[in-house]
Amino acid sequence: MVGLDFLKGFGRDRRRHLTGPDLDTLNLLANVVEGRDPYTAGHTWRVSRYVTTMARHLKWTKERVASIELGALFHDLGKISTEDHILKKSGKLTHDEFEKIKAHPAEGKRLLQGLKFLKPAVAGIYAHHEHYDGSGYPEGVEGEEIPVEGRIIAIADVFDALTSHRPYRQPLKPEGALAYLKGHTRTHFDPKLVVLFSSIWDEGMFKKTVLHSDGAIPLLACPKDGQTIALGEEVSEGDGAFCPVCKTRFILARNKDAWEVKLTG
């Protein structure tokens, strides 16, 4: 369910070198990531919204924003090599199971080695579990030695995990997740970036994104290209929906307890 809006941030030369098979690969990888774990449906989309907003507040170039968006969309790519019984375990992981989970940043980097157009995403993917005090993985680097892409994705990843349903716990309220981030500055997280995330939250810019995590606002996949379609806070059957990639208009319909989109006409 990867969106392709990030392509607008790439320079003309980079867009020209992206082929149809490249874009097919992006969609395939994104769908594989989302499909591996039903409890994290929409997770990569929400993390990408958080990090791109942060990057724009940092006045990054459009191309750099697009690159960190790619990193966010594929930060858990390496988990496709993690066994199902570990990935979907509802209880506490054993030491050996956690060690296998910890391999996913390096595995994600390995999987992308041969894809030149995804090279800008690797830094964020590889470093998003590093901790500011050096206690993270896979390298154990600390402070500003951690690529800034990794430091940003780390904050967005944890915030979304805490505010989302998981098989082993109920979600926290956003205020509780923010308190966790603030309580782990200088140990897990870059303090300046936590301040930035908190200030953006205070401005109300993350409200609609976080509501997608608890089902208050549904996320749907475009039936034509897999693009994530984010709906508004109040939706009703028969309302219109629009895919920004294929430019197709749909109408909302109910299928038992779930929403779906159907072609108009």
Burial class (CB in 10 A: 0-12, 13-18, 19+), 223: middle
Between CA 131 and CA 139 the distance in angstroms is: 10
* 173: DSSP letter: P
Q: Which amino acid is at 28?
A: L
Strand partners, 240: 251
Instruction: Give the torsion sign (CA, 177, 179, 180, 185).
Output: positive
Q: Which residues participate in catalysis according to the annotation? A: 79
Between CA 120 and CA 67 the distance in angstroms is: 5
Angstrom CA distances, 243 to 15, 30, 90, 164, 193, stand at 21, 17, 35, 25, 32
Between CA 240 and CA 141 the distance in angstroms is: 48
